[in-house]
Every structure is written in C-alpha cells, then in structure tokens.
C-alpha cells in the first residue's frame, strides 16, 4: 500500500487545500482535526481510489477529430525520483501521443530551471497564494482540436499556476477535455474540479492520475486507461 509521506511542507492532501485557500478562521483547530482525519482516510485508500479512477473513464472519447495533449512537466530536482531529465508528466504525455497519435503542446517556462525541490515548492506556494500567471513560451491553435488531454503535476493540490496562464489564453469551451495528473499522494487533487471551473462549457471527463515515481515502470496502467476511453 502506498502512503502519502511528503516532508516538504505538504502535510497531507486536505490540509494542502486549506493552507492554500486561506480559510483559516475561528474554527481553525476543528478544521485541522477534521481534515487530518480525512487525509488519513484518503491516504490509506489511495491505491484503491486510483484503480477506480483508471476504470472510471469507460465513456468513449470522440475519435473523429484531431487530438491534442497539452501538458506542463518540470524536469530537474524531483521529490521521489531524484534529478530527472524528462519530467514525469511528459512521460505520460508521450505515452498518450504514442498510443493515440495525438499532437502535443508542452507548456514551457524557464522560470523554474535549475531550482532545487524545496525552494520550488515555496515559490509555487507563493505563486498560488498570489494567483500569479507566469508566462510560457510559444502557442498552439486549440481550435483545430475537439479532444484535448490536459496534464500536469499536482502542485499544492491543483495545476501549477503556469497552466492557469495557458487556460486564461486558450478558450477550450465546447471541447472534450480529459484531465490527467502525476503526483505523490494527492491523486487528481482538485484538478478536475478546477478545470471545470475554468471551462464550465467544456465536456470535462473524470480524469486519470498516476504516481510520478510509477510512470517509468507502469506504462501498462496508462495504456489500460486509454483503452478504456476507446483508443
Ligand atoms: C512545487 C511542487 C508542489 C507539489 N505539490 C504536490 C501536491 O500537492 N501533492 C502531490 O501529491 N504531489 C505534489 N508534488 C509532487 C509532484 O506532483 C510529482 O512529483 C509529479 O510527478 C511531478 O511531475 P513532473 O515531473 O511532470 O513535474 C509537488 C511537486 C512540486 C515540485
């Protein structure tokens, strides 16, 4: 059984969300107790939940148009797999393209280049707190695509802020959006909910998540998920 054992400021999934959305108030102690209990319950059922996610996407995705994979992935110092040349999410994005023939757009920024894990965590936390929208390089014409896989690492419970920059610049209303994340315990976090908030008029599917430290050895899980979508 896998457990969520972050020691770099992520005390647990539920608490991560509280810490970010600044809802501490008079009942702070009670909330911490409740969220800690919830976090423990979610932690111990993590493997089971991920299996459920993998099989929850039985509704076929449209295949009659071009497919795009939009993703962000951070190479370099990583929480559980050391210093990596290719980010975990990029590996999943590559599996998706290999299996479905989807085009790719990688949301790239040099902002985090060379950063060690802990300072990056602090910076990402600050960006999220301030609602910053860091710029990224390049562009893609999303109007060519009806189905878009949207992928990223979970950063403090949701998508990295640079992905929100992408969302703010690209209207994906009316499209089928298939979220996926890599993570180290949060699963999808609030990514699906947050994507629905950004694109209320898109057909946002249930989503798929996989541990970052599993992506190099568990391609099969990704393939099974894609097969469950009808690819
Ligand atoms: C700034 C930062 C914040 C993170 N926050 C979380 C988190 O809230 N929950 C979680 O499970 N993992 C978290 N992680 C771990 C990453 O989601 C995980 O290592 C992911 O696989 C990295 O993917 P990448 O190599 O594509 O960037 C965080 C990592 C970083 C660098």
**Which domains, ranges and CATH numbers included, belong to the chain?**
50-228 (3.40.50.360)
DSSP state of 166: H
The residue among 20, 77, 162, 128 whose CA lies nearest residue 12 is 20
Give the C-alpha separation, 63 to 111, whole Å: 36
User: According to the model, what pLDDT value does residue 64 have?
Assistant: 65
Distance (Å, whole) CA 9 – CA 14: 13
pLDDT at 21: 29
pLDDT of residue 77: 84
For residue 75, the ligand 1 atom closest to its alpha carbon is 25
Paired tokens of 100: 């479905």
C-alpha of residue 25 to centroid of ligand 1, in Å: 28
The pTM of this model reads: 0.80
SS3 137: strand
Of ligand 1's listed atoms, the one at least distance from the Cα of 90 is 26
> Ligand 1 centroid to 184 CA: how many Å?
6
pLDDT at res. 103: 98
The DSSP letter of residue 187 is T
Task: Show the low-confidence residues of the chain (pLDDT under 50).
Answer: 1-8, 11-57
**Cα 116 to ligand 1 centre (Å):** 13
* pLDDT at residue number 203: 98
CA 180 to ligand 1 center in whole angstroms: 13
Q: Which residue's CA lies nearest to atom 8 of ligand 1?
A: 156
Query: Going by DSSP bridges, is the β-strand pair 82-84/176-183 parallel, antiparallel, or unpaired?
Result: unpaired
Give the gyration radius of the chain's Cα atoms.
17
Among the listed residues 196, 142, 207, the one whose alpha carbon sits nearest the alpha carbon of residue 171: 142
CA 65 to ligand 1 center in whole angstroms: 32
Ligand 1 mutation pick, 12, 134, 155, max ligand atoms within 8 A of CB: 155
What is the structure's pLDDT at 60?
A: 74
Distance 144 CA to ligand 1 centre (A): 30
- Token duo for residue 172: 């994906």
Q: Is 57 in the pocket of ligand 1 (CB under 6 A)?
A: no
CA atoms within 13 A on the CB side of 173: 6
């Amino acid at each position: 059984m896998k457990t969520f054992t972050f020691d770099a400021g992520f005390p647990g999934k539920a608490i991560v969300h509280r810490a970010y959305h600044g809802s501490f108030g008079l009942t702070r102690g009670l909330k911490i107790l409740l969220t800690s209990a919830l976090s423990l319950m979610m932690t111990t059922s993590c493997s089971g939940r991920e299996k459920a996610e993998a099989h929850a996407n039985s509704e076929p995705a449209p295949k009659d148009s071009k497919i795009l994979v939009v993703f962000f992935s951070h190479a370099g110092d990583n929480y559980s797999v050391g210093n990596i040349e290719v980010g975990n999410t990029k590996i999943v994005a590559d599996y998706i393209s290999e299996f479905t023939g989807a085009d790719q757009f990688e949301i790239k920024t040099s902002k985090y280049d060379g950063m060690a894990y802990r300072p990056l965590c602090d910076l990402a936390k600050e960006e999220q707190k301030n609602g910053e929208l860091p710029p990224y390089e390049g562009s893609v014409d999303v109007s060519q695509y009806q189905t878009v896989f949207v992928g990223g690492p979970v950063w403090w419970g949701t998508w990295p802020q640079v992905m929100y920059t992408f969302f703010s610049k690209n209207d994906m209303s009316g499209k089928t959006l298939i979220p996926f994340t890599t993570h180290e315990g949060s699963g999808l976090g609030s990514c699906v909910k947050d994507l629905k908030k950004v694109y209320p008029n898109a057909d946002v599917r249930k989503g798929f998540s996989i541990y970052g430290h599993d992506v190099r050895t568990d391609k099969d899980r990704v393939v099974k998920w894609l097969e469950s979508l009808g690819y």
